Amino acid sequence: MLRNYFYDVKIFKTTSVAVPVISVGNIVAGGTGKTPHVAYIVDVLCSAGKNVAIISRGYKRSTKGTFVVSDGKNIYGTATECGDEPYFLAQKFPEAIVIVDEHRVRAARIAVEQYCVDAIIMDDGFQHRTLHRDLDIVVLDTTYKDDGLIPSGNRREPWSSLHRSNIVIFSRWNGTTNNDAIILCAKKHTSAMIVKTKFETTSIRNFYTNEMKPIELLQNAVVVAFCGIGNPDSFFTILANNGAMVKEFIPFSDHHYFSENDIKCVLHIMKEKKVTYVLTTEKDAVRLVDSTLRQYIEQMPLWILPIETVFVEGEELFLQELQKIVS
C-alpha cells in the first residue's frame, strides 16, 4: 500500500476545510452497514440543530463531476443519476445537503462555501485520504469471514490500516465467540475506541403510501423478498427472525438497477406462491421509482423494511466524541 505510506509520511498532502469532517468507511468492500451508521450520525447532528452535508462519490451513478442531490430544500435528479445511497439519504434527511463528486475536496468546499454547513459526513471515505478528516470511523461487519485482500478476497486494505481509525464500529453484533475473534484481530492493529451495534426494525412501510405497520404483521406471513445490497443474508435473517415465511428470496448484485425482466420475475413468483407481502430494503426502493417498471410494481403488495442502528455497547462514548468534534 505505497499510496497510504506516502500519506502517512506526508509526501502526499491532505486538504482541510473550515468545518469538521467525519468519515464513515470500511476496509472490506460492500455490505458492512455503513449507510445506517451514516444515517444515525446525520440524525444526531440534525436533531442538535446542525446544518449537515453528506458527501459521497455516488457509486454507480450515470453522471460525472459535481451533482447536488439535495440543497436542504429540494431533491434533484434520480437514484440512477446520483447513486442509490446518496438519493436514499437525501430522502431520509430532506434538511441535509447531499453532494456527490468523485473529487471529495471539491464537494466539501461547495458544502462550506455555498451552503454554510456546520459539519460534513463523508460516506465511504476511509480510503479517500485527500480530504482531511477530524474523525475517522471504520465499520466492521462481525459476520465477515476474512477472505484476504482484493482481488482474491473482499478486503480493501491490510488489517494494519486500522491504525488510522479513531473509532471502530462492530456492526451486526450478536455476542458470539466469532464476534470476539474479530475484535481481538482489530485490537492488534488499533487503539481506537471500539463500539458495538446491531440493526433492528420495528415496522414495515408501504411502498406506495408510506403507511407504517408493526413488524409483528410478518409473523407467519407468506412473503417473497428481493434485494440488491452488499450483504443480502442480513436482510433474509431479519425477515426470518421476525417470523416471516419466506417462500422465495431473490438476491441481486449490490447496487443492482432493476430491469423489467427482473421485476416481471418477482411478480411471477409472487403470483405463484400466493404471498401476503413482497418485501425489499430502503436502498432498493429508491431504484424502483422508474416509469418503465411501474406497471409491474403496481401489481405487487410491495412493502419496505426500514432498519435502524442500535448500540449494544459504547453509545454514550460515541455521542461524546461526536459532540467534541462538532462543537
**pLDDT tens per residue, range 267-316:** 999 999 999 999 999 999 999 998 889 999 999 999 999 999 999 999 99
CATH architecture assigned to 202-306: 3-Layer(aba) Sandwich (3.40)
All 3 cell numbers of residue 199?
A: 440493526
> What per-residue confidence (pLDDT) applies to 128?
93
> What per-residue confidence (pLDDT) applies to 310?
96
> What per-residue confidence (pLDDT) applies to 254?
93
How many other C-beta atoms are found inside a 10 Å radius of the C-beta of residue 93? 20
Confidence label for 31 from pLDDT (cuts 50, 70 and 90): confident
> What per-residue confidence (pLDDT) applies to 10?
79
DSSP summary character for residue 15? B
pTM score over 0.75: yes
All 3 cell numbers of residue 313?
A: 455497547
- The CATH number for 2-198+310-326, chosen from 3.30.465.10, 3.40.50.720, 3.40.50.300, 3.30.70.360, is 3.40.50.300
All 3 cell numbers of residue 57?
A: 462519490
Arithmetic mean of pLDDT, 57-71: 96
CA distances (Å), origin 325, targets 34, 119, 297, 322: 20, 9, 44, 5
How many other C-beta atoms are found inside a 10 Å radius of the C-beta of residue 65? 9
pLDDT per residue over 217-247, tens digit each?
999 999 999 999 989 999 999 999 999 999 9
Alpha helix (H) ranges present in 159-241? 177-187, 232-241
Alpha-carbon distance 76 to 97, whole Å? Answer: 11
The residues spanned by each domain of the chain are 2-198+310-326, 202-306
Alpha-carbon distance 58 to 83, whole Å? Answer: 5
Taking a C-beta distance cutoff of 8 angstroms, is the pair 300, 262 a contact? Answer: no
Q: Is the pLDDT of residue 144 over 90?
A: no
Q: Beta partners for 311?
A: 197
pLDDT per residue over 118-129, tens digit each?
999 999 999 999
The reply to whether 202-306 shares the fold of 2-198+310-326 is yes
**Paired sense of beta strands 135-141 and 52-56, if any:** unpaired
CA distances (Å), origin 162, targets 25, 183, 247: 11, 12, 41
> What per-residue confidence (pLDDT) applies to 96?
98
> What per-residue confidence (pLDDT) applies to 29?
87
